């Protein structure tokens, strides 16, 4: 995992199509708004946000969808009802380019992951 500059994430987003770029830029903004102390990094080859050394959230664009990564195999299971309408695997939530993730589920995903990572610090 390496910390990257804001410009490197900007460059990644700029390499995408306009719709993908806009949707992921919105997601990036919401992640950083929810965890303002996070560092942007690359983890497992995807754009991510790290807090106190722990990766909390990530995102990437693929040919037919976008993905949100909670960087924990158990976060999505905790929020099954909140993410039931999305395609998902154990470690990724897939969503359509033209349908950004709403802020409420993002906030819940991040809160659960932060709690897992740090508990009652």
Task: Please report the pLDDT score of residue 38 as a whole number.
Answer: 93
Statement: the pTM of the whole predicted model exceeds 0.85 = yes
pLDDT of res. 1: 60
Regions of the chain with pLDDT less than 70? 1-3, 120-121
Cα separation, 91 vs 109, in Å, equals: 12
Architecture of domain 2-118 in this structure: Alpha-Beta Complex (3.90)
Q: What b/e string do you get for 59-92 counting C-beta neighbours within 10 Å, with b at 16 or more?
A: bbbeeebbbbbbbbeebbebbeeebeebebeebb
Distances (CA, A) of 115 to 22, 87, 93: 29, 24, 19
Domain boundaries, the chain: 2-118
């Amino acid at each position: 995992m390496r910390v990257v500059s804001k410009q490197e994430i900007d460059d990644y987003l700029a390499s995408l199509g306009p719709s993908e770029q806009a949707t992921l830029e919105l997601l990036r903004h919401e992640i950083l708004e929810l965890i303002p102390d996070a560092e942007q990094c690359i983890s497992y080859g995807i754009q991510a946000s790290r807090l106190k050394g722990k990766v909390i959230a990530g995102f990437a664009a693929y040919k037919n969808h976008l993905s949100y990564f909670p960087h924990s195999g158990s976060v999505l299971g905790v929020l099954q009802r909140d993410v039931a309408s999305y395609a998902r695997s154990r470690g990724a939530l897939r969503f359509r380019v033209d349908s950004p993730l709403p802020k409420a589920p993002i906030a819940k995903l991040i809160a659960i992951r932060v709690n897992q990572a740090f508990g009652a610090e």
